[in-house]
Amino acid sequence: MVVGPGRVDIHQHLWPPELVDALRARRTPPMLRDWTLYTAAEPPYDVVATDHDRAARAARERDTSRALISLSAPLGIEFLPPDEARPLLDAWHRGALELPEPFGAWAAASAVDPDVNGLDDLLAAGFAGLQLPAAVLGSPAAIQAAAPLLRRCEQRQWPVLVHPGPVAGQPFGFPPWWAPVVDYVAQLQAAWWAWHAVGRCLLPELRLCFVAGAGLAPAQHERFAVRSKSRFVVDPNAFVDTSSLGRQAIDVVARALGIDVIVLGSDRPYAEPADPHLGDAAAHAVTVVNPSRLLEGAAP
């Protein structure tokens, strides 16, 4: 991916020390034991400690003007009982605000008992927008239930990042890559199509971004047209990022949606951004112009 002034990466992960300490203090998943992560459904995962070293990570971003960090939604923090979620969310927000440049961060909220009014304090503190697990938007009914939270974001012109969340328990024998390749993708596809079914009607001005190309849901727009008997219309304020996508997948998404709603998201440290070789103008749009539209709002 071509680099240059103003380059924005809207999707990375970095656990600040405050969150690491809070996870280590827990006795039930999600929790850390040294650097081994235990969640409720996925196999134990050996975290690479240097991936969460703030200084080392900042040094990798010399060509990036802004890199936005998101809470790892598959941990399931947002779906914990409120008294368990609150200390972890507080630790995330405290630590995220202490990250060095060029890092910024997405705020997070309980999906069980969202503090709608508390979003204003997070906005004032400097967060870029709100991250929500994909299941919060995973059906038309789910979007309607989340409408008060989403409407506050719309009113404050605050973008929403849609990220895969925790998965159901996996039977013995599933490989460790199963959740990211199968479950996460399915969550994003459901959220994408639920949004197009009812979301825009309910929230006409909300800007949001689905990570990982919305699980390649846009590639199904022709099937949608056949089954729905209606034409798929590109939503100029429903963005997708390039996280974990390669050249072929980015090409598919660009052909389905055009270039104006694609933004750079690397998913570091779990993946690196791919160069789709779409040309300098497209690269500038994906890394500079489109992220600005997502985050700040502007006409395409």
pLDDT in tens, 154-196: 999 999 999 999 998 765 678 889 999 999 999 999 999 999 9
Residue type, 191: A
- The pLDDT of residue 5 is 63
The stretch 63-68 carries a mean pLDDT of 94
Strand, coil or helix: 99: coil
- Does the domain formed by 8-295 have CATH 3.20.20.80? no
Structure tokens at 261: 């709603």
What is the 3-class SS of 58-84, one letter each residue? HHCCCCCCEEEECCCHHHCHHHCCHHH
- The pLDDT of residue 185 is 96
Q: Quick one: pLDDT band at residue 6, thresholds 50, 70, 90? A: confident
> SS3 helix, strand, coil % of the chain, rounded to 5?
45, 15, 40
Q: Please say if the pLDDT value at position 47 is more than 70.
A: yes
User: Are 106 and 71 a contacting pair, CB within 8 Å?
Assistant: yes
Where do the domains of the chain lie?
Answer: 8-295
What is the separation of C-alpha 217 from the centre of its chain, rounded to a whole number of angstroms? 15
The count of other CB atoms within 10 Å of the CB of residue 78 is 24
pLDDT > 70: what percent of the chain?
96
* CA distances, 7 to each of 42, 132, 213 (Å): 34, 24, 19
Rounded CA separation 135/210 (Å): 12
Structure tokens at 169: 């328990």
β-bridge pairing 36-38 and 31-33: antiparallel
User: Are 269 and 48 a contacting pair, CB within 8 Å?
Assistant: yes
From 32-36, 40-44, 55-59, the region with the lowest mean pLDDT? 40-44
